[in-house]
């Protein structure tokens, strides 16, 4: 797989997760996850954070935990 295809793969995944996160924020009527009561137990936010990390590392590297 070329680097260009990898970039597209990670960026597309990030954009998809961002759309899910923004839809959730609208549904919860908050402008930020920090204002949401589900902040520490939210699979949507967790998936977005992991997508951000993967887009930065292009899927390479070790584990990622907070």
Do residues 21 and 44 lie in contact, with contact meaning Cβ atoms separated by under 8 Å?
yes
C-alpha R_g of the chain? 13
**Packed helices 3-28 and 43-57: angle between N→C axes, nearest 10 degrees:** 160
Task: Give the model's pLDDT for residue 63.
Answer: 60
pTM of the model: 0.75
CA 40 and chain centroid, separation: 15
Tokens in use for 44?
Answer: 């949507």
Q: Which comes out higher in pLDDT, residue 11 or 63?
A: 11
Q: Is 63 exposed, middle or buried (0-12, 13-18, 19+ CB in 10 A)?
A: exposed
Check pLDDT > 70 for residue 4: no
* pLDDT more than 70, % of the chain: 79
């Amino acid at each position: 797989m070329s680097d260009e295809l990898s970039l597209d793969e990670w960026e597309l995944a990030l954009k998809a997760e961002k759309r899910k996160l923004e839809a959730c924020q609208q549904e919860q009527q908050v402008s930020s996850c920090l204002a949401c009561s589900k902040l520490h137990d939210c699979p949507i936010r967790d998936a977005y954070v992991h997508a951000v990390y993967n887009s930065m590392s292009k899927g390479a590297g070790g584990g990622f935990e907070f």
